[in-house]
Structure 1
């Protein structure tokens, strides 16, 4: 069975690589805040919802303008991911799962950006980590993994240290329980799921009988 797992490692970028990582963090924050403002004003002024597809097109056009060509220096998938995160934030807000999206501050104790793996642009090569636009970075491989890298989150802590979190898709073998003890996780979307992979749907009894209760 395929399963996604996360692996976190510390990295040791050179001063030049640190500069590019910091620049990427700034560009991602700029894109997120700019399009949050655009979506917010569109709704305030004309009750118009701006979609992710529209913001993606706007970003492409923005990168062609002379005053914003610096956006082309950093990894493009990280900028697109900022738009996806913003869109997800609005969807969660309208679904009443989260509060209204807030502007990102450069003073957060931990700043991060996420890049997608495209054409093997994220890989472990000769004991180093290859990152989009950054190149080969020294990494402390404290744990080995097998499988396909899906994306990477690069973060800078308040201490100035740099870390990466690799999202890896791995083949996991599920062993039969043979009548032994099992673990059960009770949730909201599903009533419960157990360590054998069995899932029970939520009967939503309260919602079903709420009118009769009233």
Structure 2
């Protein structure tokens, strides 16, 4: 069973900068791979699996150094979200859309692995 927690918090200016950077990187990865998948399908009529996208993300992180500054799990989860969006499309739901920078519904997911998230008295330390 997976658990999810939803919190409302009031970030400092430094935390806002980190969050905005993470939102931007997650959006960039999602849009980049959506564009890649579309181009691949239009030219060769082939699809790109999650595992192939994950390997390509490693190559992309070497090219775009700023992608290394954010939580790696959030980037992987954006690829999983894209994969799920394509599966939903093929089951009859709408086609995946590009993420907008101006949309105010920004969010990302991370994974709890090797105690990377710490629960302190009144604080939560997130990667």
2:103 matched to 1:105? no
- In the superposition, the TM-score normalised over structure 2's length comes to 0.94
> Partner residue of 2:109?
114
Q: How far apart, in 2, do the equivalents of 1:5 and 1:49 lie?
A: 32
Specify which of 42, 60, 71 is matched with residue 75 of structure 1: 71
Structure 1 outlier segments of 4+, above 6 Å: none
The CA deviation string for residues 119-146 of structure 1, in whole angstroms up to 9 with x for no partner, is 11113112101101xxxxxxxxxxxxxx
Compare CA radii of gyration and give the structure with the larger one: 1
| 2:89 counterpart (80, 84, 93) | 93
Match of 1:16 in 2: 14
Corresponding residue SS for 2:27: helix
Q: State how 1:24-43 maps to structure 2 within 5 Å.
A: 24-43=22-41
Pairs aligned (count): 127
Which digits, 9 at most, give the CA deviation of each residue in 1:138-187, with x for residues without a partner?
xxxxxxxxxxxxxxxxxxxxxxxxxxxxxxxxxxxxxxxxxxxxxxxxxx
| Structure with the larger helix share | 2
1:190-209 → structure 2 map (5 Å cutoff) = none
1:5 is displaced (CA, Å) by 4.8
RMSD: 1.2
